[in-house]
Amino acid sequence: MTAIALYHYFRILDSWDGAFVVLNGEITQTGKAFNDAYRYVDWLLTVPLLLTELILVMRLTRSETISKTVRLGGAAALMVVLGYPGEVSGDTTVRLIFWAAAMIPFTYIVYQLFVGLRESIARQPEGARGLVNAARWITVLTWSFYPVVFLFPMIGLTGSTATAAVQIGYTVADILAKAGFGVLIYLIAVRKSELETTQGPAEM
């Protein structure tokens, strides 16, 4: 997943370099279009995988793992797909419509993380339960930043300023959502392995 994200970030930066130039301290458009598709393709691949990682590290039953992975991963993919038409549209109304549409699967994901996974998290070993809960909160809090950034062009920001604000906002959110979440997933896996070694699977 890291390799995929890095590849698409290189493409994003290359597209940015071609579309904008800094003149006299201001960001100016060159006339070439900035390609938002690279970022959305990255999200379409990595966002469902983030939720899948959380489900897998919880080590649920096979049926629970498949069910929750399909539901959460599918909702995450749908959220990204619905966001793209609004992102590339210059019409405020169209952007708002697709923002609202993308918020539906986002709300479903939040509901599943805090209600649908409640019993599963309660069954986690006590020594790892806090980390799993933290991963859930990190996911929701960092992902909540994306719909806010999406609205930047609709709150008075225009032209290259709006584009710069959106892309910087998304980049910051990506670092927090992916890198921070990845560290937590690693810590959960290590902690659960330690508990299995010291206590045994039956005692966990």
**Secondary structure class of 28 (helix, strand, coil):** strand
Q: Is residue 182 part of a domain?
A: yes
Residue that wins the pLDDT comparison between 14 and 120: 120
**Average of per-residue pLDDT across 149-171:** 77
As a whole-number percent, the residues of the chain with pLDDT over 70 amount to 77
Q: Is residue 204 part of a domain?
A: no
Per-residue pLDDT reduced to its tens digit, 48-102: 998 998 898 888 889 999 999 999 999 999 999 999 999 888 788 999 999 999 9
Q: In the prediction, which pLDDT does 160 show?
A: 64
CA distances from 28 to 21, 47, 49, 162, 179 (A): 5, 31, 36, 12, 31
Parent domain of 52? 2-199
Mean pLDDT of the chain: 81
Going by their DSSP bridges, the two strands 26-29 and 20-23 should be labelled as antiparallel
Q: Is residue 39 part of a domain?
A: yes
State the CATH number of the domain containing residue 63: 1.20.1070.10
First to last CA, the chain: 30
Say if residue 131's pLDDT is above 60. Answer: yes
Q: In the prediction, which pLDDT does 203 show?
A: 47
Q: DSSP assignment, residue 32? A: S
Residue type, 188: I
Residue 26 φ/ψ, nearest 5 degrees = -120, 145
Q: Is residue 159 part of a domain?
A: yes
Q: Are 22 and 28 in contact (CB under 8 A)?
A: yes
Q: Confidence band (pLDDT; 50, 70, 90) for 124?
A: confident
Q: How many domains does the chain have?
A: 1
Say how far apart CA 108 and CA 76 lie, in whole Å. Answer: 9
Q: In the prediction, which pLDDT does 24 show?
A: 65
Residues whose CB is less than 8 angstroms from the CB of residue 198 and which lie 6 or more positions away in sequence, other chains included: none
Per-residue pLDDT reduced to its tens digit, 6-17: 555 555 555 655
Say if residue 23's pLDDT is above 70. Answer: no
Residue type, 94: V
**Average of per-residue pLDDT across 127-132:** 86
Q: Is residue 86 part of a domain?
A: yes
Q: Is residue 13 part of a domain?
A: yes
Q: Is residue 59 part of a domain?
A: yes
Q: Is residue 47 part of a domain?
A: yes
